[in-house]
Structure 1
Amino acid sequence: MASEASSRVKVPRVAIEFCTQCKWNLRAAYVSATSSPEISAIAASLGTEGFAQELLQTFSTSIGEIALIPVTGGIFTVKMTHVISSTTQSIAETAPSSDATVRVTETVIWDRKIDGGFPETKELKNRVRNIIEPGRDLGHIDRSLKKGSTQPATPEESSKPESRPDAEVQDGQKNGDACEDCR
């Protein structure tokens, strides 16, 4: 079982948590329903690495770190740890000056239970860009989102997810039992 350690991380840091019991590492590279079956099969084989690769390809050195975090309990979330500065300069472009107030925060970019399913890659890139490089043009992604041509993420079977205390999920993880969302 994994344990926690304290170390320095490079920010902005994107953390993709996915349920291993649900096999969401295989489903995480959500592809629009308009894609061909061949493309869907290729994307499904990429797993969460597909999201990580897409974000690295688009943002390259603007992202300090991307972490893939296997969890249980029906979880699929994308979170970003980033710096908030009191200056108006982009964090990616300049280091904070000594007179700037700097703090680190974590922002949930996507949560399967709140946002309904898995994100399209272009929506995920848009949400990441809005945090780390709000003035950046994403080209065809921006044009597509402005036209409203994005397909909504596939909603899960239940519209209202069952909420459980964290302790309950942790007990199931220790015992290796399947989570309720995995069944």
Structure 2
Amino acid sequence: MKPQVQIEYCPGCRWLLRAGWTAQELLTTFEQELGAVTLRPSETGGRFTVTVDGVVVWDRKTEGRFPEMKELKQIIRDRIAPEHDLGHSDTPERQ
């Protein structure tokens, strides 16, 4: 079974567009590797978390900020498809 990503976002903060854009970027980058990317409105205010198969890989409150897309792609790639080349979004040591 392919990995599944869930993006939980705060609807009261109007973060649906950010969550949707994040999902689109991940699906475009990992179209062969991911089974699904789902969006989930949070019941907790201020939440923006990204999980892969139930494991939190990014939490806005813990990190104190939203992830840069390049950064999030690297985190997810390292977890689901370490051999996947991210091109210009990759870390310098991997290029």
Which of 121, 146, 163 is the equivalent residue of 2:92?
146
Partner of 1:16: 7
2:62 maps to 114
Q: Spell out, residue by residue over 1:76-95, the C-alpha distance to the aligned partner (whole angstroms, 9 max, x if none).
A: 100010xxxxxxxxxxxxxx
Q: TM-score, normalised by structure 2?
A: 0.87
Counterpart code for 1:79: T
Partner of 1:50: 21
Q: What letter matches 1:13 in structure 2?
A: Q
Shift of 1:135: 1.9
Q: State the TM-score, normalizing by the size of structure 1.
A: 0.47
Select the structure that is richer in strand.
Answer: 2
Once the two structures are TM-superposed, the CA of residue 61 in structure 1 deviates from its matched residue by 2.2
In the TM superposition, 1:122-137 aligns within 5 A as 122-137=70-85
Q: Show structure 2 runs of 5+ residues with no match.
A: none
Percent of aligned positions that are identical:
47
Is 2:32 the partner of 1:61? yes
Shift of 1:21: 1.1
How far 1:72 moved relative to its partner? 2.9
Q: 4+ residue stretches of structure 1 with deviation over 2 A?
A: none
Give the C-alpha shift of residue 11 in structure 1.
Answer: 3.3
Query: Which residue is equivalent to 1:44?
Result: none
> 1:70 is matched with which residue?
41
The RMSD of aligned alpha carbons is: 1.6
Gaps of 5+ in 1: 1-9, 29-47, 82-105, 148-183
1:79 and 2:51 aligned: yes
Larger Rg: 1
Relative contact order (C-alpha < 8 Å, sep 6+): which is higher?
2
Shift of residue 120, structure 1, vs aligned partner? 1.1
Cα deviation 1:102-127 (Å, max 9, x = unaligned)? xxxx3211100111211111111111
1:163 paired residue number: none
Q: Tell me, what secondary structure is at the counterpart of 2:31?
A: helix
